[in-house]
Amino acid sequence: MPTRATSTPPAGARTPRTPRARAQRFPEVPEGTAPEPAGRGLKALREAAAACKRCDLWRPATQTVFGKGPARARIVVVGEQPGDREDLAGEPFIGPAGLLFRRALDELGIDADTLYLTNAVKHFKFEPRGKRRIHKQPTPAEQKACHLWLEREIATVKPEVVVCLGAIAAKAVFGAKFSLMKQHGRWQTLLDGRRAFATMHPSWVLRQPGDEERELAYRGFRDDLALLTAVDDAG
Ligand code: SF4
């Protein structure tokens, strides 16, 4: 996936919160490009991603929401894209779906702080509806453009295990032919030898129409995530 080298924001720079401020802050990054990280670690990756303009999603969003967690986490969890709250806070997995994910981990005795949490797409895509911003699915081209950052995060963290939440994340990791409905909750081996599995996105659980359906979906989601207890015990 080719990228063009451009300059990156200085270390410790905070991401400007409006498109106009961002354009003034990162004027040197041409449209359609991703900056090259200035170093090898996660910090350099995060700083470079903050100035990414590889697709158009950076324009209306507040900021790049990069991954968060220990630099040497044994488990990387990949969600789909940031939501409204994550976009405003600049942090992944803090909205309603993220909280449901954390609840499931808690019930399984897994410490969420030991995981590296990220998304397949790093900017929030939405449609304004009155005062609300309604989540919109990134196009395949936008997903492909952003794959660069996920690849780099996994190559930098070097986890033993990758967990995908939802179809966008699963296709980003396993490829377009992966069927979430048929293959969720089963270990797969990636080309680099890492183990990985996919499960539903917690927002799908939350979208179930009734209490009973939601509870059933939640139990299935948590049962899939229980595969992680074996990884946790092995540590
Ligand atoms: S969504 Fe990804 S590729 Fe597109 S601008 Fe944001 S960080 Fe860059």
Report yes or no on 70 lying in a domain: yes
Report yes or no on 157 lying in a domain: yes
pLDDT (0 to 100) of residue 19: 54
User: pLDDT in tens for each of the 235 residues of the chain?
Assistant: 333 333 344 444 455 555 555 545 555 788 999 999 999 999 999 999 999 999 999 999 999 999 999 999 999 999 999 999 999 999 999 999 999 999 999 999 999 999 999 999 999 999 999 999 999 999 999 999 999 999 999 999 999 999 999 999 999 999 999 999 999 999 999 999 999 999 999 999 999 999 999 999 999 999 999 999 988 555 5
CA of 130 to the centre of ligand 1 (A): 25
pLDDT (0 to 100) of residue 28: 74
Query: Does any ligand 1 atom lie closer than 6 A to the CB of residue 78?
Result: no
Residue (of 119, 113, 140) closest to 49 by Cα position: 119
Crossing angle of helices 96-108 and 227-234, rounded to 10°: 60
pLDDT (0 to 100) of residue 231: 87
CA of 74 to the centre of ligand 1 (A): 25
Query: Does any ligand 1 atom lie closer than 6 A to the CB of residue 123?
Result: yes
pLDDT (0 to 100) of residue 30: 87
| Residue in 57, 119, 151 to alter for ligand 1 test, most ligand atoms within 8 A of Cβ | 57
Query: Does any ligand 1 atom lie closer than 6 A to the CB of residue 125?
Result: no
Residue (of 160, 66, 75, 156) closest to 115 by Cα position: 75
CA angle 82, 86, 89 (to 5 degrees): 145
Domain count, the chain: 1
| CA–CA dist 141, 10 (Å, integer) | 29
CA of 220 to the centre of ligand 1 (A): 32
Report yes or no on 165 lying in a domain: yes
Report yes or no on 8 lying in a domain: no
Torsion of CA 8, 13, 16, 17, to 10 degrees: 130
Report yes or no on 99 lying in a domain: yes
Report yes or no on 3 lying in a domain: no
Q: Are strands 195-199 and 188-189 parallel, antiparallel or unpaired?
A: antiparallel
Structural domain boundaries, residue 113: 66-234
Exposure b/e, 174-205, CB count within 10 A at least 16 = b: beeebebeeebbeebeeeeebbbbbbbbbbbb
| CA–CA dist 126, 194 (Å, integer) | 33
| CA–CA dist 151, 113 (Å, integer) | 21
pTM (global) more than 0.85: yes
| Residue in 54, 56, 78 to alter for ligand 1 test, most ligand atoms within 8 A of Cβ | 54
Q: Are strands 161-165 and 75-79 parallel, antiparallel or unpaired?
A: parallel
| CA–CA dist 194, 204 (Å, integer) | 26
pLDDT (0 to 100) of residue 224: 98
* Domain harbouring 161, CATH code: 3.40.470.10
Smallest CA separation from ligand 1 atom 4, residue? 55
Report yes or no on 220 lying in a domain: yes
